[in-house]
Chain A
C-alpha cells in the first residue's frame, strides 16, 4: 500500500530523499523548488515510512501526510468575476493544494443567477476529467437549491459549499454539502474560517475514498504513478513542457502535458517490463484541457490481468 506524504525542507541534499524514495519503490509525484526550499509530493510504501522519516529527520526536514496527493480536484465558481474571486475560491484551492491535491480553478461562463445559471458540455466534460469537484455557491438557500442543474450531470463526486445550513436530503446530486462558506469579501483568517476549510478537505477526502473503494472492486491494470514513471523515462520531451507539473495524476490515469497530435504515438508506445505497451492497457485520447493527452488506464475486467 502506497502512502501519500509531503516533504518540506532545504534544497541542500534533498536528492538523498528522492534517491531513497526511488530505492524503496516509491514515486516522487511533484517537486517544487522555491529559492532554498523544496516541497516534494511522494508516494511511499507504508511499511518503509519509518526509514524515510529517519532520513528526513537527519536533514531537518518535515514529513506530513498529504491525503489528497496524486489526485486532481476542480474548484468551480459560477464565473471568474470579483463576486466569487479571489477570497473564497483561492482560499479553498490553496488549502486543497496544501493537502497534496493538484487543484484547477474553473470559472463557468454563465453560472450566475437563479434562473439563468447554466453549464455547457465543454465545461461538464472538463470537470469530469478531474477526480472530484468543489462547487462554490453563495449565501442564500434558495439560490443554492436552484443551482443544482449546474452539477447534476457531473460524474465525479461533487462537494458543494455555501453559506447557510441545508439538509443533505435537499441536495440529492451533491456528494456532500459544507456550510458556513458562502460569499465573503475577505480572506479566511479566523480559526472558525480555517476550520471550515478543513471540513472541505475532509469532504473531498471522503469523496476520493468513495471513488477508490469503487475502483478496488475492479482494480486498474496498473497504477497511475507507475505509468507516470514509465512515460517520464520513455518520453523525455515531457520534462521540457512549460507546465509546472508536466504529468498530472488522477486516480484512474494521468494527463500528459504534451501536444496530442505530435506525441500520441510515443505515449501509446511506452513499454513496461512485463512486455505490454501503454496503448494496450489504457485509452489515450485528447484531453479537454488545451491540447494535452489524457490517459485512462483500463480496469482488470477489460484487459484480464493486473501488474
Chain B
C-alpha cells in the first residue's frame, strides 16, 4: 500500500500540492485526474522520490521514500515520466535491459535477459527490439519505455500520462495492457490521465485534484457524475451510461 500523509510542495510562495493525504490500495489501477497545473505530476514525482517534498511523508509498503536507500526502493516502485531526453544511442533491447539494473547492477544474468525478452514480448516489440530509439515513432518509443519499467518488475508502477503520443488504437492497447498487468501480474498501477473516459473505463479507483488539493476520490461511478466533474474541471459535461460504462461527452 502507498500511504501519503499531508504532503506539500511549495516553490517559494507558490504551493503546488497542498497537504494531500491518500491511501492507494494494493493491486489494481488508480487514476489521478485534474486540469493542467492541478499538481498531479508533482504528486506522482514526490511519491517516486524524483522531487523532494516540502512537508509530509510517503511510505510504500511501510518504507519511507525519502529515507529508504534508492536501490531498495527501485525494486518496489518504478515511475515513467513523459518525454525523456537520452544522451546515448540505445536500441530498444538496451533500454529494456536497463530495467534490470536494480537487480544486476549492469551485469546481466540469463534471468535478466529472459525478463527483458518477456517485457519486450508483453509490449509486442519483438520486431523492433534491435532498432535504435531515435529511429522509432513517438508511440513505439513510448511502448519501449513502458517495457523498461515493466522489466524492472516492481509491485508498484507509476505512469505520468502514458497515453501521450499514442493514437486511439495504441492508447486503447496501452490501457488494456496496463489492465492485464494489474490483473495477471498483480501490479499496483497509478496513472495520471487526461482523458477521463479512459480513467472511467479502466480504473478501479479515481483521485481528482484541483489547485494542488485532493478534492474527490472514489470508484469511477462515484467520480463520473455531472457534479463531480464540474467541481474538478469547471465544465458542465454530459455523463452518459453507454453499455454499463460511464462516458463523458465533452467534445462540444
Are A and B associated in one complex?
no
Q: B residues touching A (Cβ–Cβ < 8 Å)?
A: none
Q: A residues touching B (Cβ–Cβ < 8 Å)?
A: none
